[in-house]
A and B are shown apart, each in its own frame.
Chain A
């Protein structure tokens, strides 16, 4: 019952709407209901996550975080979880300032262009056993193709604002997103090789429980774990999340490409960033953490969509945790990390995946594959550090 609850709800809604419409309209209604559901669900998730993020960051700094605003027009406080409603109302009622020199059309289009690809990317993610809005044969390809449109939005915003900080932020953003797309896609290739399909539904099904009832998630293999970590880092960079948030580095270029945005347009950028993060992390769940699959075959009675959203929340928590812990990178460090460290590691990982595929099963396979990867990691890190003359800090005057 709970397993198919979302599907039944949708069917009932479509049936109810179809009372007044001709039968030919049913695919349209169905698609619209799916799109509406994704928008509403992830919009709500966005609101809740902004509050969770502020509370989590506050707790990491020994503060309370937002705990005042509750349900509007009532005295219910809900531990501060009404904050996003207040923020939304504030964003809606604020003045929309457009610079005099700005390209008004592009300036107004950029926030929309930011949100649309994120929603499109979310539509191909299987969120439950029967819960995928669009099941493409090449869903993964569609995801990356659509995700690249975010770069367009960033540059539209930066260029149309006619502001040097905007443009600098946009150029940083483009350089970062283009650079990290390479390790992002390379980290995914072993998954495609293992599953033998580009369809996200098929990839999740391939990660079902094995013979022993233990999970068959790709993260439980050496190449899967490595790929997952690489993917996570690249996904954070793609979503402009800390520690890769230098396109909007407040201390250097004020707010980067959305410095000239205010009111609801700014809120749309904010929404787009978070939807992009959800999409990227949702893809990480789908590819490496088994999507909607339960960790054990015995836990199959829990509805599959709960597993997906639970894992998604877990990764969002990790992203918040990272934001609270690590400092922002410098531009040269950022690009160096992508091209000199992550791309070679992703290529090595590709080799490890092939090794894993053709090596006989057993402990030795684990040791060899894991060893190759660890060796590559250490050699790369040490080699890069050595080449830059980096090492433990030595103080000449204070001993």
Chain B
């Protein structure tokens, strides 16, 4: 049996010495059609003239050479083939859901007067690795609705401890702390250099709109709603009122109807 099956395999056609015994039965059980040549049948290839029968003359080698040649030339012709991003000169566009470390949002141009944070310390309490440190200022300042609120004297985040979970941003009821996307954060000093203070952490609302447009628009809408509610209650605009819409970016109260 082995000898005969082996003989079938001697021409260049399909060869299934092992299939001769066991495989057809198994295939029948599976309900598959068995298209196996009979033992001793002359192979289809050897019936053809020697020169025209396919394979085994090194065509595969030529195909391989052509493939690499096509890639070689193509990589000079179309830039789309080159997937490499040449990092310091080029940067990949980050997905909108990207996040690295928290930052503090401020409205308008003044990082102190416009800071949304009211030093409520909810983020400090919720932070799982406890990397946030807040000290309230004694003096108060008006928030975006004009109401007098606390403000942080010290707001520190130890980014060597921060685990980028984003819980601070989730729990903040004032939309004051959000997640940043900056990632080139290496420093020469691993203690002071990685302890970020309020001044470093404060970034304008326009920046928030740039990195997370959808989320920023939602936050602006929420704040606008709060202002509208305050306005409705008092019936007039408070003098200290400062709107996120002043930034003049997408999704401000004006556009959000």
Contacts and interface: CB of A to CB of B under 8 A. Distances in A.
Contacts of A382: 12, 50, 53, 56-57
A64 B12 contact: no
A396 B20 CA distance: 11
Q: How large is the interface on A (under 10, 10 to 19, 20 to 34, 35 or more residues)?
A: 20 to 34
Interface string A307-347: 00000000000000110111000000000000000000000
A389 B10 contact: yes
A101 interface: no
A381 B57 contact: yes
B19 interface: yes
A320 B214 CA distance: 50
A391 B56 contact: yes
Contact of B50 (A324, A378, A394): A378
B interface bracket (residues with beta carbon within 8 Å of A): 35 or more
B174 to A, nearest CB: 46
Contact of B68 (A60, A390, A391, A392): A60
Interface string B50-79: 110111111001001101110110111000
Dominant secondary structure of chain B at its interface with chain A: loop
B6 interface: yes
Contacts of B84: 63-64
A362 interface: no
A385 B64 contact: no
B45 A391 contact: yes
Interface in A383-399: 385-386, 389-392, 394, 396, 399
A399 B58 CA distance: 26
B225 interface: no
B56 A56 contact: no
B248 interface: no
A79 interface: no
Contact of B13 (A62, A321, A326, A391): A391
B50 A379 contact: yes
B233 interface: no
Interface of B: 6, 9-16, 19, 23, 35, 45, 50-51, 53-58, 61, 64-65, 67-69, 71-72, 74-76, 81-84, 86
